[in-house]
Structure 1
Amino acid sequence: MRLDYVSIFPDFFSPLELSLPGKAAAKGLVDVHVHDLRGYTHDRHRTVDDTPYGGGAGMVMKPEPWGEAFDDLLAPTTTVVFTTPSGEPFDQRLAAELATREHLVFACGRYEGIDQRVVDHARERAEVREISLGDYVLNGGEVAALAITEAVVRLLPGFMGNAESLAEESHADGGLLEYPVYTKPPEWRGHEVPAVLRSGDHARVAAWRHEQAVRRTAERRPDLLTPSVLDDGTPIVRATPGDAGELLTLQRACWVQEALANDMLDIPALHESLDDVRAWLREWDTWVVRRAGRLVGAVRGRLEGDHSWDIGRVMVAPDLQGSGLGRVLLEHIQAVAPPQATSYVLFTGAASARNQRMYRKAGFRLRPDLPSPPGAVVLTKRRVT
């Protein structure tokens, strides 16, 4: 991959010689070139900016130097990256996309920005991506270009010594934030490494890491929880009193199926009224999913006693069952459990094979030793901390 940087501060890019990017260049994985935009000016002051048309504060970068720079650098296979706070948000998905390109040219603006005609002209000659590093403003585009470069280049084949280390990072294929990591010693200044990581039980370690990733994502970036599972990225949001009517409809649709599977009609959820649903909405932490304005999934939880998180009413519209929505709802309600919860408990129909299979796959275990409602079984799971 060839990387070109156009800036009025070319020394900004000396960090590209350090650490892994420098090693990648030495191995021939990337070919780095830095260009001083002032080298494309022709007046003695090497002017790259002028006052904005229409008035206003600040200066705007002139089109002429950029045009000459692009004459030297652009080819049909080039992707021009304009780093700008008005661009599309940069994320891991976009980093992976850019990592497939042969040639990236980073146009690093300053002042109030680059004359829009430069962007329009570049778009006539090559692929153009206007990219924002985040919802804030920097003095120039160089810092953003460096950040984008590091995120992109590390995805190139042969760049990472251990390619598997990319799979479990934050924002990787699963879409979750990365779980906490620890190393030796096992105890440091009163803080201990979680016992599960020292157990040698690889299945328990994997389960703990996944649960921690879900929990951290729910706490810090709840917007990331569902896009990793649902194609349309529909978020899980807290239910409101206005959802009661649709929850009642969804509940009846789901529990008719339960009644058929268990050959019994004496199921409380099947007989609740709208007022009943409104009442439990005030008592349970309830979350819902909507698609195209339609309520298609829901789940609820509440603390029972001091340490048990009671999970209930995992509901998915009949036409979407089997799509993975039930699994993500179950993961979500576990992740949002309060810190004092040390275990999860739920029940389902004794003959509800599909439900029991999903719960067992999520780490729940049947508890015949615990009392259960008529025609139902209880499942529990210890919260791994």
Structure 2
Amino acid sequence: MRLDYLTIFPDYLAPLSLSLPGKAIRSGLLEVHVHDLRAWAHDRHRTVDDTPYGGGAGMVMKPEPFGEAFADLGIGPDGGARTTVVFTTPSGEPFTQQLATELATGERIVFACGRYEGIDQRVLDHAGTIAEVREISIGDYVLNGGEVAALAITEAVVRLLPGFMGNAASLVEESHSGEGAGLLEYPVYTKPASWQGYDVPAVLLSGDHGRIAAWRHEQRLRRTAERRPDLLHASAAGTEWKVVPGTRGDAAELLTLQRACWVQEALANDTLDIPALHESLADVEQSLGKWDHYVVRVAGRLVGAVRGRLEGDAWDIGRLMVAPDLQGRGLGRVLLDHIQAVAPPAATSYVLFTGRASAANQRMYKKAGFRLRPELEAPPGAVVLTKPRRISGR
């Protein structure tokens, strides 16, 4: 892989010669070229910036030096290698391990390191006609220039190249990577077994590799839930949800989830006259004795629930809830399918109700085979939906 850097501070990129990247350069695995952008500025002061059109504070990097640099460096459709031009900018797409893996499959990356108020937009537009362009941000903050971001991206990308890491297995269980993609790495320990009153967890000294693997997975889930729940929820989209019976100990979390979900319903239906919003903890605890409850947890957090009970020969389905941050990922349908599957043999139909203006809910229920029943009495502001139960052999 070839890496080029366009910068007005070439010395900023001296760390590229250190550690494993430096070793990869010396071995020929990497080809690195750092270019002083001022070499393509031809006035006496080697000017690379000017005042912004439209006014405003700061200076903007001029297009001409970048254009000449791209041409002289052979960046274009006829340049031979597949080239990606990376513009490091706080307004770019977030840099992730997935993006690093994608970039590592390329043949050449050119980093355009901006300064001041940024690079003239026409540079990006032009680059997009001669190469792939990626605008990348390494975080929600502003740096003095793009060199630090370019170094960070370089470190993440080149360590994924075949032959870069001495032990490729070390990539497998890192945060965001390998088999644990989406989860943070578990804590690690080395000798001595005890230090300043801190002991290595006993399970790591047991020699039981099954227990050790389970402990490490639990630690990854715990850390991710505590420090980066957004990652945990994103990774959960591809998991198989495990629905289990609810217990009295779930009452407090059910109440919290219930209020979060029915606030959305109140907004959608423009009313606060919704029983679920006004129930107390005691009410929820009481319902656990009258309804069959089922819940889903992710890393210990209760994220979904549903309940059912037999009313005559109809299986009454209620309080189908999914945490707002996980909605739209299929969990609601999983819960709906489950509560139908566990209906007792005496049930010949299913019945539920939802808000008259809850369009998304109604769409899901209709896709699952439920039909609106306007002739049936419903709570104020709600509609009733029913579905006949079909059992094999009947």
Q: TM-score, normalised by structure 2?
A: 0.65
1:224 is aligned with what amino acid? Answer: L
1:171 is aligned with what amino acid? Answer: H
Structure 1 equivalent of residue 143 of structure 2: 138
Structure 1 equivalent of residue 257 of structure 2: 239
> Counterparts in 2 of 1:166-315, with a 5 A limit?
166-173=171-178, 174=180, 175-231=182-238, 239-241=257-259, 243=261, 270-271=308-309, 290-292=326-328, 296=332
**Contact residue 108 and residue 145 of structure 1 kept, 8 A:** yes
How many aligned positions are there? 279
The CA deviation string for residues 90-123 of structure 1, in whole angstroms up to 9 with x for no partner, is 0100000000010000000000000000000000
Structure 2 equivalent of residue 32 of structure 1: 32
Within 1, Cα distance between the matches of 2:10 and 2:339?
Answer: 54
**Contact residue 289 and residue 295 of structure 1 kept, 8 A:** no
Structure 2 equivalent of residue 375 of structure 1: none
Deviation at 1:272, TM superposition (A): 9.2
SS of the residue aligned with 2:150? helix
**Contact residue 233 and residue 325 of structure 2 kept, 8 A:** no
The CA deviation string for residues 308-367 of structure 1, in whole angstroms up to 9 with x for no partner, is xxxxxxx7342899xxxxxxxxxxxxxxxxxxxxxxxxxxxxxxxxxxxxxxxxxxxxxx
Higher relative contact order (CA 8 A, sep 6+): 1
Structure 2 equivalent of residue 328 of structure 1: none
Task: Describe the shift of the 1:209–1:242 C-alpha distance in structure 2 as closer, same or farther (beyond 3 A).
Answer: closer
**Contact residue 50 and residue 61 of structure 1 kept, 8 A:** yes
SS of the residue aligned with 1:200? coil
SS of the residue aligned with 1:47? coil
1:39 is aligned with what amino acid? Answer: A
What's the C-alpha RMSD, in Å, of the aligned pairs? Answer: 3.4
**Contact residue 289 and residue 296 of structure 1 kept, 8 A:** no
- Structure 1 gap ranges (5+): 256-267, 298-314, 322-385
Task: Describe the shift of the 1:209–1:217 C-alpha distance in structure 2 as closer, same or farther (beyond 3 A).
Answer: same
Within 1, Cα distance between the matches of 2:165 and 2:107?
Answer: 19
Task: Describe the shift of the 1:272–1:138 C-alpha distance in structure 2 as closer, same or farther (beyond 3 A).
Answer: farther
SS of the residue aligned with 2:21? helix
The CA deviation string for residues 75-96 of structure 1, in whole angstroms up to 9 with x for no partner, is 3321000000000000100000
SS of the residue aligned with 2:235? coil
- Give the number of the structure whose alpha-carbon radius of gyration is greater: 2
Deviation at 1:228, TM superposition (A): 2.5
Task: Describe the shift of the 1:179–1:86 C-alpha distance in structure 2 as closer, same or farther (beyond 3 A).
Answer: same
Task: Describe the shift of the 1:295–1:165 C-alpha distance in structure 2 as closer, same or farther (beyond 3 A).
Answer: closer
Within 2, Cα distance between the matches of 1:253 and 1:295?
Answer: 18
SS of the residue aligned with 1:104? strand
The CA deviation string for residues 206-247 of structure 1, in whole angstroms up to 9 with x for no partner, is 000000000000000001113334249x9xx97242536799
- Structure 2 gap ranges (5+): 242-252, 263-275, 278-283, 295-305, 312-317, 341-394
Structure 2 equivalent of residue 152 of structure 1: 157
1:96 is aligned with what amino acid? Answer: T
Within 2, Cα distance between the matches of 1:107 and 1:289?
Answer: 36
**Contact residue 59 and residue 112 of structure 1 kept, 8 A:** yes
Provide the identity percentage: 67
Task: Describe the shift of the 1:116–1:269 C-alpha distance in structure 2 as closer, same or farther (beyond 3 A).
Answer: closer
**Contact residue 38 and residue 46 of structure 2 kept, 8 A:** yes
Q: Do residues 80 (structure 1) and 116 (structure 2) align? A: no
Within 2, Cα distance between the matches of 1:177 and 1:151?
Answer: 16
SS of the residue aligned with 1:225? helix
> Counterparts in 2 of 1:108-119, with a 5 A limit?
108-119=113-124
SS of the residue aligned with 1:271? strand
Q: Do residues 318 (structure 1) and 337 (structure 2) align? A: yes
Structure 2 equivalent of residue 379 of structure 1: none
Task: Describe the shift of the 1:184–1:124 C-alpha distance in structure 2 as closer, same or farther (beyond 3 A).
Answer: same
1:129 is aligned with what amino acid? Answer: R
Within 2, Cα distance between the matches of 1:71 and 1:253?
Answer: 70
Deviation at 1:6, TM superposition (A): 0.3
Structure 1 equivalent of residue 45 of structure 2: 45
Within 1, Cα distance between the matches of 2:164 and 2:189?
Answer: 24
Task: Describe the shift of the 1:49–1:319 C-alpha distance in structure 2 as closer, same or farther (beyond 3 A).
Answer: farther
